[in-house]
Structure 1
Amino acid sequence: MNMNVGFPTLGELIQFTYDTAGVLPRKRGLEDELDEKEKKSLQKALSRLAKEEGNINENFGDLIKKLAFIVAGYVSDPRANFAIGESLMDLLDVYQAILKDDGTYLDKAGTIKWLINEFIIGRLALSIKKHTLRFNIAARNFSTPGKFWFLPTIENGKVTYPLEKAMVWIYEKCDRTQKQFHCPDDFNSTKYVQQEQNLENAQNWIKNNGLPSLPALIWNFNYSIDRINDTSNSNTNPCIDNHLRENICLILFIARASTFVFRELLSNFELSFVGEICEKFKIQSNDISDDFLEFETSIKNELTGRPYLQSYLDEIWLNETSHFLASYANIQTHLTKSLEAISYEDQCKIFQNPIEVQNLVQRFGKFSIKSIAAQLNSPSSNEIPENFPKLLLNGLDLKNNNNTSQDDIALYEVNLKQSNLELVLPWMLPWIKGAYHYRREEYQLAFPFFKEAFNSAKYCAGKNQYKLVNQFVEVAAKNNKRLEFNKGIRWAQYLGIEIRWLRKDEPTDEKLDFVFAIMQKANYHSL
């Protein structure tokens, strides 16, 4: 499979998600952390998904559920857990939708930059606002180190990561120096050696000398809090209550996750790009807050002073926010349809006119309008490779044409190589060759080409996959390749691609046997 062009694979995505959470590997954790047997089982599940073995949807879902369960051992507040989990699912849904509908001609690094800049930043800003309201996070009265504290601060080329900000805030919140926080016992205490080790680790972390696993980080701070509470008195050294402890654990989880992500970004991309996406997030987050302000204020005014049970208040926030979001989404859908009805040139003219933009903001909100305006007024740095559109369309024509000859295919291959596009369209040539043999009922010759096209297209062909996946599973059936047939079915199920004779039916063994048998005999002339 060609991996030079395309999106990150599903296996890479889920591994990155686990790495971001910081739950594996670990040196030390809480009492309810995974034992070695569970850890090996989890690593095996991650490996299976990376190889795309078995039921992709089920395996992916199981790994996400397992991650949520593990994180809940460190972030105990259920509201925060729900908000974090739902925000993660929103981002995973974006990845799935883009993978299905949008192809890419960029290498993996370029595709990741495009994905972050065009989709992830806005989606994350919206998800954070959406789920903090839905789950009424404000009811917990948690404190934070400040607005946008979870983004790195970049000044004069120096980066201050969120974990450093969080640790400084914790010490200030607890009215202790770093040493007082981690070493509350007397020097002669039998527990002092461990406290000194904890202090040394914390000093390294706050200086960005290594990033701890989540279990090591939480264990360190929980141990210190326990020692503080054991040695505290109400007058001079007050205890740290459970509410503040939960607050600290939540801040540490977010800080560590964000620090990991931005360290990874800075190890792969230029500092200017990271600075740009941070500023873009702030702008879009503020625009979303403005769009939600009237709704949020009305609910707060309605509930202020009412003697409602907390469970009823939570239900109101969940239901009313869901209704508002549905209306908000309908407005965005109407905007999309309105823009599709006019040319790109006319769109540019509209969004270059400040008065027109302000009128649109009044109708559709700041978030969408300002995002579109910024996109139209800032040309993409990702230039389409020369001859890419032409060779893409020519390739599809050759694949669809019953009269395509070997000479036509050979000429197309030459044109691909001369244009240096064989690595940008890795799935096109084998698909054409597979279709050529299919029409001649040379299914054994066709299969290797369809397999190559399928494997090469998964992470870069976008909506062109629909026909290709259907043809791949059909030719796999005609060659009695049940394992490959199943792989195609599972991939289609993950992306939401309907397979002939299966459509939206549950892919039971009985149903798959039926589809396999039909496809062994059926022949479709339209490719």
Structure 2
Amino acid sequence: MNDNFPTLGELVKFAFDVAGVLPRKRGESDGLNDADKKIIQKRLERLVDEEGSLTDRCGELISSLAFLTAGAIPNVKVNLAFGESVMDLFEIYNAVIRDEGTYLNKKDSILWFCRAHAIPRLALSIQKHSLRFNLAYEGFAIPPDPNWYLPTISGDDIVWPIRKVMSWVYETCGVSRTHFHYPGKSADSDHAELQQNLDNASAWFNGKRLPSWPSLSWNFARSFEHLENHSDAAYQRQFPEKLRESIFQVLFLSRLSTSICNLIKEAYGTVVLERLIVQFTQHRDWLSAELDSFVAETTAYIQGYSIPPIAIDTVWMEFSERYWRWFSDHYADFAKKLGYLLEQNDYSPLPTNTVAELIQTYGEYSVRTTLEKLEINREFPIPPDFPRRLDEGFVLKKKNNCSDEDIDQYLREIQQDGLASHLNWMERWLRAVVRYRNGDYESAFYHMEYALEQAKYRAGGSQYLLVNQFIELAAKTDRWKSFKKGVEWALYLGISIRWLRDREPDEEALQFVFAMMQKANYAQL
């Protein structure tokens, strides 16, 4: 598959890779033994191959990742906020796979997803969950630069987040990089471990390579230990626990951001990376301005009613839930108004004065981000004949006397339009339908299996019927393993399965569905 989104397995593996929590070298500590690591690797492999329950496999791996990040972010509230933000991105990805689909190649599909969905959602989720969990109350130290977790780009020069945070750590601790990692280093000193730590840190600082999280955390932990126990008062330092915790948290987040941004730069270039950074900061700043009043009102309530410290977190959580419900309703009202205005304007860009009036009523964040998404979609235009050829495919599917000759003609037409790679799943689905109606279930399954594999990460909402028909044909050809694989995909996407509906998909229920689908025939596919 070339015209598709990344698979679920690829996405979860990407999350593990960029988090850097699995050691790359023997001896790096992460709280896991060798057996645990082998289990995680095996689960990743099975998820990539989409074996077994997708929901269970994915849940197990997310739990493992959460356990590993808990070691990097031990503060419960920060860890929950981080986890909720990641899950928001994951849910957005699932919704796009389920409902929208793609007509772009994988590289462009990823870029479109980042610009239209991931960047906007991340900018919102970070602020939303920071307030929900009242992280400001924790009193963590962070770098003064509001963009410390983002690369700074100036021409061909890039200052990565990990360098920013390492510089801040040295400044905060009042020690140079050399003496932080090798306290008391001189021409006469000879300490192999400390010299190695300094060499590694210098390589990370200068962008020569990116460490795994176990390597980075171990290096800084050893540096803290050596500084606290140093015999020379000129180098000895004591670090409050809150500062130490703060440092490890920002190190983890800066390393994560550096890893992701590096991959974007390698795949799309510096110009695209800078564009994504600008988009993120704009969304963050638009939303932050609108949240100021909510923060002020909540703070005033806490102070005005002398809320005891033990109850402050509950107030922030409850007020946040109420605010975001209002936010959702407010946005729905805006979307309805915008839809009407766009229809009246023949879906052309709205006049400047109309945009200004919308901002006055609905706020800059909702208006700017929604109009931006419309512009982003225009940058990734649908191939001109794609909607028509897709509709023609569904018309053919409903045609009771549809034949291979009709499908051959359809294939020639989509090839002439350059859409064969976009709609190959439709062509094979049609051939499966023809054979189903002729009672040739073996041949129908052969085509349907290919159609489903091609449709999974590209067809969006168009695959609902296809998935059910795949499940039925797997039953009719007595393929239990394929049947369960189809069921798992349907459950993952939230697709209702004939004969199962709202029943729990346990073994007994699935056996019942399998048996019924072996017997049932449907006049209309």
With the length of structure 1 as denominator, give the TM-score of the two structures.
0.95
- Encode CA deviations 1:395-441: one digit per residue, 9 max, x unaligned: 11111211212211111111122222211112110000011111222
2:44 match:
46
- In 1, the alpha carbon distance for the partners of 2:182 and 2:37 equals 32
Q: Indicate which of 365, 377, 382 corresponds to 2:380.
A: 382
1:55-70 matched pairs, under 5 angstroms: 55-70=53-68
Give the corresponding residue for 1:272. 271
Q: For residues 432-463 of structure 1, give each alpha carbon's deviation from its aligned partner in whole angstroms, at most 9, with x where no partner exists.
A: 00111112222122111111111110000000
Give the AA of the match of 1:459: Y
User: Counterpart in 2 of 1:518?
Assistant: 516
Do the aligned residues in 1 keep the contact of 2:183 with 2:227 (CA within 8 Å)?
yes
1:9 aligns with 2:4: no
Q: Partners in 2 of 1:492 and 1:243 — Cα distance?
A: 46
The equivalent position to 1:398 in structure 2, one of 384, 396, 399, is 396
Structure 2 unaligned spans of 5+: none
* Equivalent-residue separation in structure 2 for 1:124 and 1:29 (angstroms): 34
Q: Residue 507 of structure 1 aligns with which residue? A: 505
Aligned residue number for residue 297 of structure 1: 296
More off after superposition, 443-452 vs 83-92: 443-452
Q: State which of 345, 352, 355 in structure 1 corresponds to 2:353.
A: 355
Q: Is 1:321 aligned with 2:335?
A: no
Q: Is the 8 A contact 2:3 2:102 kept in 1?
A: yes
Where does residue 169 of structure 1 map in the other structure?
168
Count of residue pairs brought into register by the alignment: 524
SS in 2 for 1:304: helix
2:178 aligned partner: 179
Once residues 265 and 151 of structure 2 are traced to their aligned partners in structure 1, the CA distance between those partners, rounded to angstroms, is 11
Question: 8 Å contact 1:29–1:215 — kept in the other structure?
Answer: no
Give the alignment partner of residue 465 of structure 2, picking from 464, 467, 475.
467
Q: 1:266 to 1:420 in 2, by over 3 A?
A: same
Could you tell me which residue of structure 1 aligns to residue 247 of structure 2?
Answer: 248
Question: Residues 325-382 of structure 1: CA distance to partner in whole angstroms, max 9, x if unpaired?
Answer: 1111111122223334455462756x63333223322332222201123344567232
C-alpha distance in structure 1 between counterparts of 2:220 and 2:432, whole Å:
60
Equivalent position amino acid for 1:399 in 2: K
Alignment check: 8 A CA contact 2:435 2:444 kept: yes
- Aligned partner of residue 453 in structure 1, secondary structure: helix
Question: C-alpha separation between the residues in 2 aligned to 1:232 and 1:287?
Answer: 51
Name the CA distance, whole Å, in 1 between partners of 2:472 and 2:165.
Answer: 55
1:131-146 alignment, distance < 5 Å: 131-145=129-143, 146=145
- Supply the AA of the counterpart residue of 2:280: F
Give the whole-Å Cα distance in 2 for the aligned partners of 1:99 and 1:233: 60
Letter in 2 for 1:104: T
Q: 1:218 to 1:378 in 2, by over 3 A?
A: closer
- SS of the residue corresponding to residue 73 of structure 1 reads helix
- One-letter identity of the residue aligned with 1:326: R
Is the deviation greater in 265-274 or in 124-133? 265-274
For 2:336, the aligned partner's letter is K
Q: 1:30: Cα distance to partner?
A: 7.0
For 2:103 and 2:54, how far apart are their aligned partners in 1? Answer: 25
Q: Deviations over 1:18-71 (max 9, x none)?
A: 011101233267755211111111100100100000010011011001111111
Q: Secondary structure at the match of 2:424?
A: coil
Which AA in structure 2 matches 1:57?
Answer: T
Letter in 1 for 2:276: I
Answer whether contact 2:77 2:133 (CA < 8 A) is retained.
yes
Distance 1:239 1:191, change over 3 A: farther
CA distance in 2, matches of 1:274, 1:322: 33
How far apart, in 2, do the equivalents of 1:70 and 1:260 lie?
17
Distance in 2 between residues matched to 1:296 and 1:230, nearest whole Å: 43
* DSSP 3-state at the match of 2:421: coil
Q: Corresponding residue for 1:453?
A: 451
Quick check: 1:185–1:227 contact (8 Å CA) kept in 2?
no
Contact preservation (8 Å) 2:229, 2:236: no
TM-score (norm 2): 0.95
1:56-455 equivalent positions in 2, closer than 5 A = 56-145=54-143, 146-185=145-184, 192-231=191-230, 237-304=236-303, 308-341=307-340, 343-344=342-343, 346=345, 348=347, 352-376=350-374, 380-455=378-453
Question: Contact between 1:335 and 1:364, CA under 8 Å: does it hold in 2?
Answer: yes
Render the CA deviation track for 1:253-278: whole Å, top value 9, x for unaligned. Answer: 10110001011011110221111111
CA contact (8 A) 2:21 2:30 kept: no
Equivalent pair of 1:478/1:521 in contact (CA under 8 Å):
yes
Q: Percent identity?
A: 38
> What is the alpha-carbon root mean square deviation over aligned residues?
2.1
Which range is displaced more, 303-312 or 42-51? 303-312
Partners of 1:189 and 1:44 in 2: CA distance: 49
State the AA in 1 paired with 2:148: W
Query: In structure 2, do the counterparts of structure 1 residues 189 and 438 end up closer, same or farther at CA, with 3 Å as the change threshold?
Result: farther
